[in-house]
Each structure stands twice: as structure tokens, then as C-alpha cells.
Amino acid sequence: MKVHLTKSFGFEAAHWLPTFPEGHKCRRLHGHSFRIDVIVAGDVPPEQGYLVDFGQLKAAIAPVELQLDHYLLNEIPGLKNPTAENLARWIWDRLAPELPLLHCVRVRETCSSACDYFGD
């Protein structure tokens, strides 16, 4: 059986987007209540009955969450231009070594705006 498992986490952070045009609202310093979905995918081993322990997902995510929560994202190495797209890739790059079944990182900046990143 093929499944996708999702573990979500959230953090509060500020950022500004330096590549947006002068005068654009996103060029100004502002904050979001980010929601991140970490999605792994694969075939469930029948003898095991599960793909990945949700506790393993939580443990892999915890250090990433600590690096982002209540920080100015622009000051974090690798996030000088912290768009949703770049943030999704940044999170992927940190989780992929710990989660070989990583399928997607979804970054939600608002309840109506999201970016899905599937790796390169």
C-alpha cells in the first residue's frame, strides 16, 4: 500500500523580501504565522503496518523549527531572500538527510497562500 504521511509544525517569524519592487508591501518588514507540512511517501511494509513513526518525523523537524521560530528569517544563513519558495527549499535541505522518504515540504505563509517543494 502506497501512502503519504504529513507532519505539520508552525512558527512565528518576520521577514522582508528584498527582490520585490520598492513600495511593494512585501518589501517592508512584516511577520507571519507560518505553517509547514512535511510529507513523506512510500510503500508500507506489510509486516510493519506503518511507513514512518510520526515521532521520527517530529524529532527530525524539531531542530529546524527551533532555528526559525521568532527570528528574522533574512538573518538566518541561506535565507537572505526568504520567499516561500526559498524557505521550502531551505527546510527540505535540512530534512532530506534525516528523512530519506521525504516527498514534499509545503510552506503556508497565510491561510490562502502556500508553496509546495518536491526537491530538485
Q: Which of 4, 30, 70, 85 is catalytic?
A: 70
Q: Which of 98, 103, 109, 115 is catalytic?
A: 109
80-87: list long-range contacts, CB under 8 Å, 24+ apart.
Answer: 80/18, 81/17, 81/18, 81/19, 82/15, 82/17, 83/17, 83/19, 83/115, 84/109, 84/113, 84/114, 84/115, 85/115, 85/117, 87/34, 87/115
The SS3 assignment for 58 reads: helix
Query: Could you confirm whether 109 is annotated as catalytic?
Result: yes
Give me the residues paired with residue 10 across strands.
Answer: 35
Q: Which of 26, 103, 104, 115 is catalytic?
A: 26
Q: Any idea what DSSP says for residue 120?
A: -
Residues tagged active-site? 26, 70, 109
